């Protein structure tokens, strides 16, 4: 079974998502998308698989979003994909693909919805937020 994560190791949400995947017993294919951005076709396929609008995949924080004027509705989906290709930091993360689906995992615990084995046991995020307690109750 193949699980793929489009990962940014500098992002806490991405690191937490990766940790939950590993705790589920899987070692995913890790694509550091800032170093190896998805092709235009792959990016479009991910957006389609997630049933989301192109604009909904844009990341604003810590990116050239404002500087490029991307809030302006004049931008077409094709143009936005071009901009994400030129500036991969604009692609929100982490995106995870599993046999159960493809999802933008923000918050990180959203990955539990598509893991083949979502019973990962107790899990606490890097910041101390408990996702699953010692009694295996999902808290967030």
Number of domains in the chain: 1
- The 10 Å CB-count burial string (b at 16+, else e) for 60-98 is eeebebeeeebeeeebeeeebbebbeebbbbbbbbbbbb
- Inside any domain, residue 88: yes
Give the whole-angstrom CA distance, residue 49 versus residue 6.
Answer: 14
pLDDT at position 11 is: 96
Predicted pLDDT at 137: 76
Q: What is the pLDDT of residues 29-55, one digit of tens each?
A: 999 999 999 999 999 999 999 999 999
Residue 138 lies in a domain: no
Catalytic residues: 11
Q: Answer yes or no: is 137 within a domain.
A: no
Assign 39 to helix, strand or coil: coil
The per-residue pLDDT for 38 is: 95
* Nearest alpha carbon to residue 67 among 81, 85, 87: 87
Residue 26: CATH number of its domain:
3.40.30.10
Backbone angles phi, psi at 90, to 5 degrees: -75, -15
Per-residue model confidence (pLDDT) at position 134: 86
Domain span at residue 96 reads: 4-132
Residues of the chain under the 50 pLDDT cut: none
């Amino acid at each position: 079974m193949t699980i793929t994560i489009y990962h940014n190791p500098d992002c806490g949400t991405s690191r937490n998502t990766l940790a939950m995947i590993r705790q589920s017993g899987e070692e995913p294919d890790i694509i550091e998308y800032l170093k190896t951005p998805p092709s235009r076709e792959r990016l479009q396929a991910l957006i389609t698989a997630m049933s989301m609008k192109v604009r909904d995949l844009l990341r604003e924080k810590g990116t050239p979003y404002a500087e490029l004027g991307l809030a302006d509705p004049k931008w077409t989906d094709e143009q936005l994909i071009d901009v994400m290709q030129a500036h991969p930091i604009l692609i929100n993360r982490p995106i995870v693909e599993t046999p159960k689906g493809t999802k933008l995992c923000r918050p990180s615990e959203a990955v539990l919805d598509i893991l083949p084995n979502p019973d990962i046991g107790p899990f606490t995020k890097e910041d101390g937020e408990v996702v699953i307690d010692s009694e295996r109750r999902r808290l967030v």
